[in-house]
Structure 1
């Protein structure tokens, strides 16, 4: 029993260390892309309704993901002290680091969400929702990486990236990375003072 108690903290420490590696960072994308693609393919195969219904479900999944992104960033990554908060604080200290969730966690959460959805809606729609939420997560991750790794020339891309850079200086503002929709709706969008 004592060995099991010692294993818990050691395993958690190992997972936290692994989560800050480049390999973990890119494995997370690979796993999530593969699972999301499989869910979308299964959803399309099982779907017997209209294409408009399938397309609407995929759009709904992307909107749901945008809220999940906002919710996690605002209330978990900037919430009470936890391993998620510590990892996100490390990202604020070093935006070019590879701090991420353990590579298997987003896929496990995505599978769990899809199972819950399948209890509420037809399986085809559950798979389409899960797959589009997964691709929303991938878009978020790649967007976030690109914002910190690229100096944009196009004014609209500079403005998009600047919104997130503001968050690194004002951590209670601009929680959305892929979209500012929920910052507008929930009043956390940074509004610069007029000169």
Structure 2
């Protein structure tokens, strides 16, 4: 199937499950920005954060998310389909997006899945970072919301005529030229660190 094929894949025969796989991009973005703000507010109100720690932890969480984004895209969403189970999971989570990259309703995971993963990360980070979790997870969820916005924009709109155009080019290379490079969507940082930046023409 050509990667620029228009339309939408059918992932489930059950119409209810099929409907759950589709979401308007504004819903998850709004949810995770609201939770991010709520975490910062809660941290301030209960004395877990001050201004400097909130700023530092927020950016640390944002950086952590960018690494999670890269690793998940490279090693989970593009895992080798060595058996039918992996093939099925990989296609439902990401393969269908490569077949139908212009399907705007599937440019984000369903909010219920994202909320489950976010809750798991919150409690995991809580064990590691204690009260600082409110700043770190706020930054992490903001990073996720930004990722969703960028991912939607590069698929739904023409590239801008400014420095942000590089994000459109970077992700287009991943979709249409080399799916084994350019895994970063919101930032090419970790592609540069781990050697998966697309080769530039001399």
TM-score over 0.5 (shorter chain) = yes
TM-score (norm 1): 0.82
- Cα distance in 2 between the residues matched to 1:37 and 1:59: 14
CA distance in 1, matches of 2:152, 2:38: 24
CA gap 1:15/1:109 in 2 versus in 1, 3 angstroms: farther
2:110 pairs with 85, 102, 113, which one?
102
The 8 Å contact of residues 29 and 138 in structure 1, kept in 2 or not, is answered as yes
- Separation in 1, partners of 2:98, 2:118: 26
TM-score (norm 2): 0.80
Tell me the residue number matched to 1:5. none
For structure 2, which runs of at least 5 residues remain unmatched after alignment? 1-11, 81-86
Q: Which moved more, 1:126-135 or 1:80-89?
A: 80-89
Question: Aligned-pair distance for 1:127?
Answer: 1.4
Query: How do residues 1-195 of structure 1 correspond to structure 2 at under 5 angstroms?
Result: 17-23=18-24, 25-48=25-48, 50-80=50-80, 81-97=87-103, 98-99=105-106, 100-123=108-131, 125-169=132-176, 170-194=178-202
Q: Distance in 1 between matches of 2:183 and 2:53?
A: 30
- Asked whether the 8 Å contact 2:77–2:90 carries over to 1, the reply is yes
Cα distance in structure 1, aligned partners of 2:157 and 2:133 = 35
Structure 1's 109 and 12: CA in aligned 2 closer, same or farther, altered over 3 A?
farther
Between Structure 1 and Structure 2, the one with more helix by share is 1
CA distance in 1, matches of 2:172, 2:49: 43
User: Which secondary structure state, in structure 1, belongs to the residue aligned with residue 172 of structure 2?
Assistant: helix
Offset of 1:176 from its aligned partner?
Answer: 0.3
Native 8 Å contact 2:44 2:50 kept in 1 = no
Deviation per CA, 1:54-100, whole angstroms, max 9, x where unpaired?
21111100000000100111111111424344331211122221223
Q: 1:183–1:13: structure 2 CA closer, same or farther, 3 Å change rule?
A: farther
Backbone CA RMSD of aligned residues: 2.3
In 2, the alpha carbon distance for the partners of 1:84 and 1:30 equals: 27
Structure 1 unmatched ranges of 5 or more: 1-10
